[in-house]
Structures are given as structure tokens and as C-alpha cells.
């Protein structure tokens, strides 16, 4: 068998596909290829369960001929969008033209209607099932089952980063959307409440915010924008505990079985993308329950649609700091 697994974006979603890649490779012995976008190559480049990595910049046409020439026996679509529909059509037509059988295609269930009911009408019909298990269901026809080993994340030896001295808290201060993030003053308060080093992590977009927070007190270090994705991942790996919003590095922390304090704003764990830790420590979930406006989106917004931002402004900051400190001390 030669199997193509597809997930184009983004960091966290791709990390969550790692059990599928591992289980397919180990349980079928197939040749496993993975297709994603160039921007996210670092998340899978060093995965030993992937025999070949395919990357696109913007369009499938960049590599379509090469994909058709591989004569895949199976396609596991873990994205389910218009681009993967185009991929299926290209593989179908290309293989038929060459007189070959098209690959068998399976696509994971996105449950868009149920997500709509939850985010727009607050009617929860989501299954009590993590998205990892929904991803794995797309490979069930191959006889693949969940091996219970959790997530994987691999980095290269030249991507290792020297950590700060002593046990430290890694605080992931950013996210793709503002409504997933605590406000600056809240993050300052949490950092000041921690009597141990705090390393702020994020991308270039959080660099200035990180500088302001780091300047608010001793022992707060700004790593935002100073490391590659895999450099930040290595610092997450070495942290005593990770405080994080609902973002990609939260799932990297889960892959490394780090103690996690996850902070939730407009999104909710019921959407199925909470920290996946079947063989690790249970994550602490910080969220404001009982709001009639939450969740307002399955992704997020640049600002609270109602203006009050209670899902974050009403967070118990002391409880977040205590949970992190307890993990450091243990």
C-alpha cells in the first residue's frame, strides 16, 4: 500500500494528525506520504513515520503531476475542504487516464452542522469524542486502531534550544485570534503571581507584547519572535508547566506530555480540540462557564462581538497561577 495523508493547516491541527500517521505506518507497514502547506512543514519534517513529505505554497498544481505519478492506493483526507476536493478530482482523472485504479478515499467527519448549532444556537450535539479519534476513524477501513500513545512532535538535533536555568513556566501568550487570548494586564498579573522564572513564547506578532510583559517584573523573559517554531517547541518540551491559550503550542505541549494549564475564551473544549493526553498528566482547563454567548465561534475574532469579553475578563487569574505553581512544585 502507498497512502497519502492530507492536512494543509494549521500548526495545532497538524500536530493532532500525528497519531494517524504513526498508527497507519506501524499497523499497516504502508509507504506513508504526507501533504501540507510549506508554511507548516516544520511540524512534520522530522516525523520518522512519514516516508515522503509533499508541500505546496499556494496551489495544488505545483505538485499535482508528481502526486498522480505516485499511484497512491489510499488517500486519507483529514482536512475536508475545497482544496482536498480538487486533489481527489486530480488523482481520479490522472489515474484513469493512465489506466490505473484511483486511490480509495476516506475523509474525516468535520461535523460542521453540529459546530454551527453549538456556536450559533448554543445547542450542543457534539460527540464526547476528541478530534484525534475522529481523525483515526478515517483510517479505520485499513484496520487501524488507536494505540493509546497520544500525540507526537519531532524536531531536528540542530533545533534544540538551551533553556533558562532552573524550573520555569512557559507562557504561550498569543493565538491566531484575539478572542482566544487573555488581555495584557491579565497576563502581567499571572506572571507577577508566579515566584519562578516565566518564559513568554509566541511568534513575531507577539514580540512587542512580550517585551511589555517582560518589563513588568523580574524573572519574566520574552522569547516571542526569537525562536523558530521548533525552537519554541523545544522550550515547551523542557518547561516545568505550560500556560497556554487554545493554540498550536498547546498541542505541542500535549505531545511532550507537559503539565498544561489551558485558558479558553470564545472557544470551548467541547469542540473536541482540548489537550489530548491519554497517557500523560491531565490538563487544567481554565474557562468561564455559564455565559450565554459562549462559544461564539469555532475559531475566533479580532474582538469580542458583544464588546464585554467576559469569557476572558472574568477568568480566575489566581487559580491559573496556583495551578501552574502546583505543577512546578510537583
* Residue 149 within any structural domain of the chain: no
Say whether the peptide bond before residue 295 is cis (omega within 30 degrees of 0): yes
**At a CB cut-off of 8 Å and minimum separation 6, what does 249 contact?**
11, 172, 201, 232, 233, 236, 242
Q: In this structure, are 29 and 88 located in the same domain?
A: yes
CA distances from 79 to 35, 63, 123, 246 (A): 11, 18, 24, 19
pLDDT given for residue 282 in this prediction = 87
Of 142, 177, 193, the domain-final residue: 142
Q: Are residues 138 and 166 both part of a single domain? A: no
The reported pLDDT for the residue numbered 48 is 98
Q: Tell me the three cell numbers of residue 174.
A: 498569543
Domain range enclosing 63: 2-142
Grid coordinates given for 115: 459546530
Position 281 scores a pLDDT of 84
Tell me: do 84 and 126 sit in the same domain.
yes
CA dihedral 197, 170, 261, 154 (to 10 degrees): -150
Do 217 and 291 belong to one domain? Answer: yes
Whether 131 and 189 map to the same domain: the answer is no
Q: Are residues 179 and 262 in the same domain?
A: yes
Strand partners, 5: 34, 76
Are 149 and 19 in contact, with CB atoms under 8 Å apart?
yes
CATH for 86: 3.40.50.2000
* In-domain check, residue 153: no
**74-77: strand order across its sheet:** 52-56, 31-37, 2-6, 74-77, 104-107
pLDDT along the chain (330 residues), means of 10: 97 98 98 98 98 96 96 97 97 94 96 97 96 98 97 97 94 97 98 97 98 97 98 98 98 98 98 94 95 96 97 98 96
Same domain flag for 7 and 112:
yes
Residues 106 and 173 in one domain: no
- The predicted pLDDT at position 330 comes to 87
Q: What is the model's pLDDT at position 293? A: 97
Residue 168 C-beta-side C-alpha neighbours within 13 Å? 23
Q: Quick one: 28 and 176 in the same domain?
A: no
Pairwise CA distance, residues 213 & 134, whole Å: 38
* CA atoms of 41 and 46, how far apart (whole Å): 9
Count structural domains, the chain. Answer: 2
* Among the listed residues 129, 131, 84, the one whose alpha carbon sits nearest the alpha carbon of residue 110: 131
Q: Are residues 43 and 175 in the same domain?
A: no
Instruction: Please report whether residue 69 resides in a domain.
Output: yes
**What global pTM score does this model have?**
0.96
What residues does 284 pair with on adjacent strands?
A: 261
Using CA atoms, how far apart are residues 242 and 238, in angstroms rounded to an integer? 10
Amino acid at each position: 500500500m502507498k497512502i497519502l495523508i492530507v492536512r494543509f493547516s494549521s500548526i495545532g491541527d497538524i500536530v493532532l494528525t500525528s497519531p494517524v500517521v504513526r498508527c497507519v505506518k506501524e499497523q499497516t507497514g504502508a509507504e506513508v506520504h504526507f501533504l501540507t502547506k510549506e508554511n507548516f512543514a516544520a511540524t512534520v519534517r522530522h516525523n520518522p513515520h512519514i516516508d515522503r513529505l509533499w508541500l505546496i505554497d499556494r496551489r495544488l498544481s505545483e505538485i499535482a503531476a508528481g502526486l498522480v505519478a505516485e499511484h497512491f492506493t489510499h488517500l486519507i483526507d483529514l482536512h475536508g475542504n475545497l482544496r482536498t476536493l480538487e486533489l481527489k478530482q486530480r488523482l481520479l482523472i490522472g489515474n484513469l487516464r493512465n489506466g490505473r485504479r484511483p486511490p480509495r478515499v476516506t475523509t474525516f467527519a468535520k461535523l460542521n452542522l453540529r459546530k454551527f448549532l453549538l456556536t450559533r444556537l448554543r445547542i450542543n450535539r457534539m460527540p464526547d469524542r476528541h478530534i484525534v479519534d475522529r481523525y483515526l476513524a478515517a483510517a479505520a477501513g485499513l484496520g487501524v486502531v488507536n494505540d493509546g500513545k497520544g500525540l507526537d512532535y519531532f524536531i531536528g538535533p540542530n533545533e534544540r534550544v538551551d533553556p533558562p536555568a532552573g524550573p520555569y513556566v512557559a507562557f504561550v501568550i498569543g493565538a491566531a485570534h484575539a478572542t482566544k487570548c487573555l488581555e495584557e494586564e491579565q497576563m502581567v498579573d499571572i506572571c507577577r503571581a508566579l515566584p519562578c522564572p516565566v518564559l513568554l513564547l509566541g511568534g513575531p506578532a507577539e514580540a512587542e507584547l512580550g517585551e511589555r510583559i517582560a518589563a513588568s517584573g523580574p524573572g519574566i523573559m520574552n522569547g516571542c519572535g526569537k525562536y523558530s517554531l521548533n525552537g519554541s517547541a523545544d522550550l515547551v518540551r523542557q518547561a516545568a508547566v505550560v500556560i497556554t491559550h487554545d493554540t498550536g503550542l498547546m498541542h505541542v505541549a500535549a505531545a511532550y506530555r507537559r503539565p498544561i494549564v489551558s485558558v479558553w475564551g470564545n472557544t470551548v473544549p467541547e469542540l473536541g480540540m482540548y489537550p489530548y493526553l491519554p497517557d500523560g498528566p491531565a490538563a487544567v482547563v481554565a474557562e468561564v462557564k455559564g455565559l450565554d454567548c459562549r462559544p461564539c465561534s469555532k475559531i475566533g475574532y479580532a474582538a469580542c462581538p458583544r464588546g464585554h469579553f467576559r469569557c476572558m475578563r472574568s477568568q480566575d487569574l489566581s487559580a491559573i497561577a496556583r495551578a501552574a505553581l502546583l505543577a512546578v512544585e510537583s
